[in-house]
Structure 1
Amino acid sequence: MKKLMALLASLTLVLAACGNDTETQTKQANEPQTLKVASLIPPMTDMLEIAKEQLAEDNIELEIVVLGDNVQPNSALAAKEVDANFFQHVPYMEEFNRSNDANLVPIEPIYFANYGVYAKNYDNMEDLPEGATIAIANDVSNIDRSLSLLAQHDVIELGEKEGTYYTQADITSNPKNFKFEEVDLLMLARAYDDVDAVLMTPAYAAPLGLTPKSDALLTEGVENDFAITLVAREDNQDDEAIQKLGEALTSDEVRAFLQENYDETAIPAF
């Protein structure tokens, strides 16, 4: 009898443990998965807010981490402080990888930020005077982008690209002897009052009340490699939550949002 009672007691404990395990697993399955994504400014943050609602339906809680400069999002991602970021084009990401021995990877191109040339006191590129100063971003990928845009419109000529990026040393013809002042990306809008012209994306032109279609002297268009892209790491690029975020950012809702609110400045890349 004692053996039977001991057996029954043991069985009861096993069943109780199994029940607790099942209850724990069920609870864990019902808890939302948190996905942390670093970004900077609208429309990127606006698009993430739309994606947040869609991800909630898949039990994924999107935490948007807004950072203050264009270095922190990649540093945070590489350090695994966030799971992804959404603020940059692929050439910029590739340069970060080279400079920091990092392994960031593109997930999905989302939209083209229509890069343009803006001038406070001139209506046409031809009006800029001899020796005018033009401000461009000082990181290597955006120096390349700026010079390529100007060469595309025959403002300057560039020689054969010797390295990964064009630099000012690659300018072979500069008929009006323009001077190029390289400044931090986040300082381009401030430079607008101090130089003759500035090359910048719509996100930095918008606070000045400027848009590519209405105000830019020249624009870039979409035939380039500079789409703003969702970026993750090699170790998490295949995670379901990351893939679902890519799907949400390329949804019909996001497309409609861009067309209704940013049709002059953000061109869908999907």
Structure 2
Amino acid sequence: MKLTRLITLLAAFTAFSVQAADRLSVAATAVPHAEILEFIKPGLAEKGVELDIKVFTDYVQPNVQVAQGRMDANFFQHLPYLQSFNEGRGTELVSVVGVHVEPFGAYSSKIESLEALEEGATVAIPNDPTNGGRALLLLQKAGLITLKDGSKITATPRDIASNPRELEFYELEAATLPRVLNQVELAMINTNYALEAGLNPTEDALILEGSESPYVNILVSRPENKDSDAMQALAAALTSEAVRNFILEKYEGAVVPAF
């Protein structure tokens, strides 16, 4: 009788240990990343992987938290940003899987088309290297500026070779850009922050990246936990047909599946 009880207790302890080992903490920005994670959370729980989702409002702490081992993974960034962060901070974070593209856009509360952008107009862009460069590349594509190196993804306003309308550039924290729409003529905004601010990229953006964008948003981890069973289960869920349909139906082109 005592032996049977002992076996039962050991089995319960083992089950608890497995469950605890399969808990994943994931840092994410609110829209669409945390929403996608919340969508797959119940299905992963059924497979023994518990997601602990922490929402962040900036682009630095999610990487810091993972690099320091405080969180297991993050889901908020594209590969060029990750590469730039690793180089600048000496971290070794890695991409696990690509999930979606958030087409970058130009927004305004003062003009209805880029043709109406007057000489000397103010333009706000993200102040991190990859997203700032992404903004400038989009403005170059629209014919508003020319860069010294037309393909440099980390371009800054100092890399502008031609600026016929003498646009005045302000580099600001990406998360703050929707809040300055009424203070500048044009703001170059990441789609996650545009969606959080109630903007509809496919309707409100004066220019929007196409589906060919190389800025695929990725699940990121440390090298040592990239291939764990739990992380691979999360990667599989994020690239499932169910998530693809969720993205297409919920975001209606503002977010595009990359798989």
TM-score higher than 0.5: yes
**Deviation digits for residues 157-208 of structure 1 (CA, Å, limit 9, x no counterpart):** 1122697721222211111111110001111011111000001122222344
Among 178, 183, 186, the residue aligned to 1:189:
178
| Equivalent position amino acid for 1:120 in 2 | S
- Residue of structure 1 in register with 2:103 after alignment: 114
Asked whether the equivalents of residues 32 and 59 of structure 1 are also in contact (C-alpha less than 8 Å), the reply is: no
Q: TM-score, normalised by structure 1?
A: 0.87
Which of these two proteins has the greater Rg computed from alpha carbons? 1
- Residue of structure 2 in register with 1:4 after alignment: none
**Deviation digits for residues 221-248 of structure 1 (CA, Å, limit 9, x no counterpart):** 1323211111111111111111111111
Q: Distance in 2 between matches of 1:98 and 1:135?
A: 25
1:81-230, aligned counterparts within 5 Å? 81-160=70-149, 165-230=154-219
Structure 1 residue 254: Cα displacement:
1.2
Once the two structures are aligned, what percentage of the paired residues are identical?
Answer: 37
Unmatched tracts of structure 2, length 5 or more: none
**Deviation digits for residues 23-58 of structure 1 (CA, Å, limit 9, x no counterpart):** 644553466621100112122111001221121122
Q: Distance in 2 between matches of 1:255 and 1:17?
A: 46
Q: Distance in 2 between matches of 1:163 and 1:223?
A: 17
Is the partner of 2:224 in helix, strand or coil? coil
| Equivalent position amino acid for 1:102 in 2 | T
Q: Distance in 2 between matches of 1:163 and 1:215?
A: 27
Asked whether the equivalents of residues 211 and 264 of structure 1 are also in contact (C-alpha less than 8 Å), the reply is: no
Q: Distance in 2 between matches of 1:30 and 1:37?
A: 16
| Equivalent position amino acid for 2:124 in 1 | A
Q: Distance in 2 between matches of 1:116 and 1:37?
A: 27
Asked whether the equivalents of residues 255 and 268 of structure 1 are also in contact (C-alpha less than 8 Å), the reply is: yes
Aligned length: 258
Asked whether the equivalents of residues 137 and 150 of structure 2 are also in contact (C-alpha less than 8 Å), the reply is: no
> Does 1:56 pair with 2:45?
yes
Structure 1 residue 209: Cα displacement:
3.3
| Equivalent position amino acid for 1:94 in 2 | Q
> Does 1:45 pair with 2:39?
no
Q: Distance in 2 between matches of 1:22 and 1:41?
A: 38
Q: Distance in 1 between matches of 2:241 and 2:5?
A: 48
Q: Distance in 1 between matches of 2:55 and 2:196?
A: 18
Q: Distance in 1 between matches of 2:5 and 2:200?
A: 65
Q: Distance in 1 between matches of 2:4 and 2:189?
A: 65
Asked whether the equivalents of residues 94 and 220 of structure 2 are also in contact (C-alpha less than 8 Å), the reply is: yes
Asked whether the equivalents of residues 81 and 131 of structure 2 are also in contact (C-alpha less than 8 Å), the reply is: yes
Q: Distance in 2 between matches of 1:183 and 1:58?
A: 42
Is the partner of 2:123 in helix, strand or coil? strand
Q: TM-score, normalised by structure 2?
A: 0.91
Structure 1 residue 249: Cα displacement:
0.9
- Residue of structure 2 in register with 1:252 after alignment: 241
Q: Distance in 2 between matches of 1:27 and 1:176?
A: 64
Structure 1 residue 20: Cα displacement:
7.1
Summarize the Cα distance change of 1:60–1:203 in structure 2 as closer, same or farther, 3 Å threshold: same
Q: Distance in 2 between matches of 1:59 and 1:165?
A: 41
Asked whether the equivalents of residues 104 and 208 of structure 2 are also in contact (C-alpha less than 8 Å), the reply is: yes
Among 201, 217, 232, the residue aligned to 1:243:
232
